[in-house]
Amino acid sequence: MRLVAVAVPVPFLDLLTYNVPDRLELPAIGARVRVPLGSRTLTGCVIEHGASIDAGTDAKDIVEVLDHEAFLPATVVALARWVAEYYVAGVGDAIAVAMPPGAARRASSYKTQRIVSITAHGLGSDPSDEGTQGAESPRHRGLTPKQSQAIEALAAAPAGLPMSALRERGITADVVSRLVKHGLATIRDEADERDPFERSALATVAADPDRQLTPEQVAALDALSARADAAEFRVALLHGVTGSGKTEIYLRLADRVCRTGRQVLLMVPEIALTPSVAALFRAAFGTRVAIQHSALSDGERHDQWQRIRRGDIDIVVGTRSAVFAPLPRVGLIIVDEEHDTSYKQEESPRYHGRDVAIVRGSLEGALVVLGSATPSLESFQNAAIGKYDLVSLERRVLDRPMAAVRIVNMRDEYATEGPDVVISRELVTAIEERLTREEQVLVLLNRRGYSTAVFCRQCGDSFECPNCSVSLTVHRARNGWKARCHYCNYSTDVPKSCRKCAAPYLEQTGFGTEKVEQHLRDRFPSARIGRVDRDSVRRKGALTSLLSKFAAGELDVLVGTQMIAKGHDFPRVTLVGVISADVGLGLADFRAGERTFQLLTQVAGRAGRGERKGEAIVQTLYPEHYSIQLACQQDYAAFFEREFAYRKGMRYPPLVALINIVVRGKSLGDAMHAGAEVVRRLDGVIAHAGMMTLGPAPAPLGRLRGEHRVQVFIKGTRRAEMRQAVKAVLAEMPELRRKVTVDVDPLSVL
C-alpha cells in the first residue's frame, strides 16, 4: 500500500491516512486530493508520505489527485503544521487558511472572457488586388452590414477583440456566430485576471525614488540591509516614533532584497486602513506587487494568489493570512504596526500573524522586520534581552516636532458644564481655530453607535441583548432608533415606552461616534464632516473613499474609532481630539493599559505630519493614569518600565505564557461543571510541571450568542508542556471538544 497523510478542512480533526491506488500517481506533498470521509467526498491536502495505520486496519483509497505537482509550497505546508500544533488546532483548519478561494474545485476559478479573432480566410484580400479570383474577403458580397463591420474591426485587431468590445459597437453574438459558422472568425476563451488595483484609489500614488533619507534613516537602513544581505534568519524590531519614516525604509530594503532575486512579504494590520502602503509599493514596483486580504472578492484573491504561485510576483502586501502566501524565495518579511491586535485571528486556528511570520522567516532563512512606534511588550522585551535586534528611529522626518498634547480633566468639565458634555470647551475652541485656518481635524472615540444604553427612569429596566450579557447600543436609523448588539447583531426598535412598566420615561445614556458626529454638525454647521467606523463603512470601498476624500482635503473633520489611528499620513491634520481617552481602561483585561497607551500614542502621531505644528487634546476622567500621562508625553521607554513592573508583579505575559480555555454551556451550571472537570484533569497532568491553573470562573462576557461561558487559565513558562496538557485533556473528553475554545497567547481575556 502507498499510504499518505491528508489534512481535510474539518474542525478538530488530525491527519487522516489514505491509500493511493495503483491507478493514480503518488501525489506530491502539498498537492490536493479528493478523499472519502463518512458519506462525503472532500478536498484535502497531502501532508506526509509513508503514513502508518494500526495493524488490521484498512485505509480508504484516494478518489482523485487534483494536482500533478505541489499546490502549496513545502514551506507553507510546514508552516501550517506548526500553526496547528502551537495553537492546538486541526491541521485541516490551518491548511484551509493557506488555501485560496475555490481551492476545493479542480476547475480553475479564473474569470474568462470570450475573444473573437478573424481567420486567414476571413482576412481574404482586397478586391482590387490582381490576385483576387472571386474569393470571399472582408468586404465581399454576401455579408450583412453588421458582419462587414465586425470583419473590419477584427482585421484591425490581430490578437482579437473581446465579445464585450464588439457588443459596444452594436455587433451581437448572433452576428459573430454566423461569421464563425462560415469560417471567417473563431472564438476562444482567455483568462481575465482581476486586478484589484484597477478599481482602487491605491494605484494613484506616485513613488519618489529621489527622496532624501535622514541620517537616522540611513543608519537604520544600513543596519537592516547588512542583516538582509546575510540571507540568514534574523528578527529585528524597528522602533520608530510616529512620522519617523519607517515606510521609506521598507521600500528601500524591499528593493535591495528583490535585486538579489528574493521575494518580500509585507504584512499590515488592515489593508483598507493603510492604503498608502500598498499604493507606494505598487507605484515603486509596478505589476510585480500582489495584494492578499479578505476585502477582495473571491475572484480577485484567487487570481492574485495564482500570480504569486506562478512566480509572477516579487512583493506581496497583505493582512495576517498573507503570511501563508505561496512565495518560493522569501528573503524579507516586514510586519508593519506589529503591535496591532488585528494580527490575531479570533476563530480556529487562533494564530497571531506576527508570530507566524517569525516562524516562516526561520523556515525561509529570511530577515523579519517588526515595525512599530508602540511595540508590544512581548517584542520589546525580546529586543531588550537580545533575542531580537533593536533598530531605533527617535526623530521625525525633517525634524518635525511631535504634537503638543493637552489633557482635559472631564471631571472639572462636568462640574462646570453639566453631565451631558461630549466635547469640551478647549476642544471646541481648538476646532474653531483649525477650521478658520482651513486645516484638518481628527476626532477619536473608540466606541461606535449613538448611545451606549437605554433605561427606564421609573423602574430602572435597561435594554439588554437576549443572547449576550451586554447592553444594546443605540443607533440612528432612517425610521427612528435601533438598539443593536455588537456581538450577535441582534437588533430591535427602541420603543417610546418601557417594556416592563409601560412608563414613557425611557432615557438614552452614554455616547458613541454617531453622537459625536451629530454634536460637531450642530456646533459647526458649515464644516464638512465625515465618520469612519464599522457602521459607516460596511459598503465595499466606502472606507477607501472616505479616507481618499479626507486626504484630498474634501473633508474638514473626520470622526472615527481606532480605524483612524492606524498608519495614516494626512499632512493637513494639525489637531487630534480624543474623546473619552479612558474608554478601554475599565475592561477586565490585563492588557487594557497597554492598548490605551498604544491607541493614544498612535492617534496623537497623526497630527503635525506636514509643515505646520500639530496638537492633540485628550479628554479623560483619569488624567493621572500612567498610560494616559506617558502616551501624552510620547514616552514609550517609561511606559514599558511601568507596565513591565505591573506584569511582573501579577505574573502576566510576557513574563509567563498564558492559555485561555473557554467552556460553553446551555446554562451557567453546565458550563461550570464542564470547566471544573477540565481543571481536575489538567491538575492531574501538570502538577509536576511548574504550571498552574486558574478557574473555572464566569467569563467577563458571561453569555455570548445564547451560550454561557466560563474560563480556565493556564499559566507557566513551559509552553510546549502546557499545550500538550491541553491536548491530552481534550483527547480524553471528545464529547466536550466542540464546546471548548482554546486560545494560546490570548490578546483578549474577555
pLDDT at 128 over 50: no
Q: How far apart are CA 370 and CA 374, in angstroms?
A: 11
All residues at 6 or more sequence positions from 59 whose CB lies less than 8 Å from its CB, including other chains: 1, 3, 17, 18, 19, 53
Phi, psi of 725 (to 5 degrees): -65, -45
Give pLDDT tens digits for 172-218.
988 888 888 888 889 887 665 666 665 554 444 555 666 788 899 99
State whether residue 659 is helix, strand or coil. strand
Query: Do 404-450+511-647 and 657-744 share a fold?
Result: no
For residue 141, count other CB atoms closer than 10 A to its CB.
8
Residue 435, all three cell numbers: 477650521
Quote the pLDDT of residue 241: 86
> Which 3-state string (H, E, C) describes 341-353?
HHHECCCCCCCEH
What is the third-level CATH fold of 657-744? Alpha-Beta Plaits (3.30.70)
For residue 13, the one-letter residue type is L
Give me the count of residues in the chain. Answer: 750
Residue 615: name the closest of 624, 603, 627, 623 by CA.
603
Contact between residue 109 and residue 306 where contact means Cβ atoms under 8 Å apart? no
Q: Does domain 404-450+511-647 have CATH number 3.40.50.720?
A: no
Most distant CA pair in the chain, distance: 103
Quote the pLDDT of residue 139: 56
Quote the pLDDT of residue 548: 84
**All structural domains of the chain with their residue ranges:** 3-98, 112-126+135-191, 201-399, 404-450+511-647, 457-501, 657-744
For residue 699, the one-letter residue type is A
Looking only at the bridges linking them, the beta strands covering 40-49 and 3-7 are antiparallel
Give pLDDT tens digits for 511-522.
999 999 999 999
Q: How far apart are CA 568 and CA 555, in angstroms?
A: 15
Q: How far apart are CA 47 and CA 91, in angstroms?
A: 9
Quote the pLDDT of residue 432: 95
Contact between residue 313 and residue 68 where contact means Cβ atoms under 8 Å apart? no
Burial grade of 107 (CB within 10 A; 0-12, 13-18, 19 or more):
exposed
Classify domain 201-399 by CATH number. 3.40.50.300
Strand partners for 240: 393
Give pLDDT tens digits for 362-413.
999 999 999 999 999 999 999 999 999 999 998 887 777 788 889 999 999 9
Query: Whose grid coordinates read 466536550?
Result: 736
Local confidence band at 473 (pLDDT 50, 70, 90 cut-offs):
very high
State whether residue 3 is helix, strand or coil. strand
pLDDT at 126 over 60: no
Give pLDDT tens digits for 587-631.
888 999 999 999 999 888 888 777 788 899 999 999 999 999 999
Following CA atoms 393, 394, 397, 401 in sequence, which dihedral angle do they give, to the nearest 10 degrees?
160
Residue 504: asked if its preceding bond is cis (omega within 30°), the reply is no
Contact between residue 266 and residue 316 where contact means Cβ atoms under 8 Å apart? yes
Give pLDDT tens digits for 304-361.
888 898 888 999 999 999 999 999 999 999 999 999 999 999 999 999 999 999 999 9
Contact between residue 243 and residue 396 where contact means Cβ atoms under 8 Å apart? yes
Percent pLDDT > 70 in the chain is: 92
Reported as type and span, the H/E element at residue 279 is helix 275-285
pLDDT at 272 over 70: no
Q: What is the mean pLDDT of the chain?
A: 88
Homologous superfamily, domain 3-98: PriA, 3(prime) DNA-binding domain (3.40.1440.60)
More confident residue, 104 or 345: 345
Burial grade of 117 (CB within 10 A; 0-12, 13-18, 19 or more):
middle
All residues at 6 or more sequence positions from 457 whose CB lies less than 8 Å from its CB, including other chains: 503, 505, 506, 507
All residues at 6 or more sequence positions from 478 whose CB lies less than 8 Å from its CB, including other chains: none
Top-confidence range, 86-95, 355-364, 398-407, 484-493 = 355-364
Query: Whose grid coordinates read 504569486?
Result: 308
For residue 632, the one-letter residue type is C
pLDDT at 690 over 80: no
pLDDT at 706 over 50: yes
Q: How far apart are CA 69 and CA 540, in angstroms?
A: 36
Phi-psi region of 311 (alpha: psi -120 to 50; beta: other; left: phi over 0): left
Q: How far apart are CA 624 and CA 409, in angstroms?
A: 9
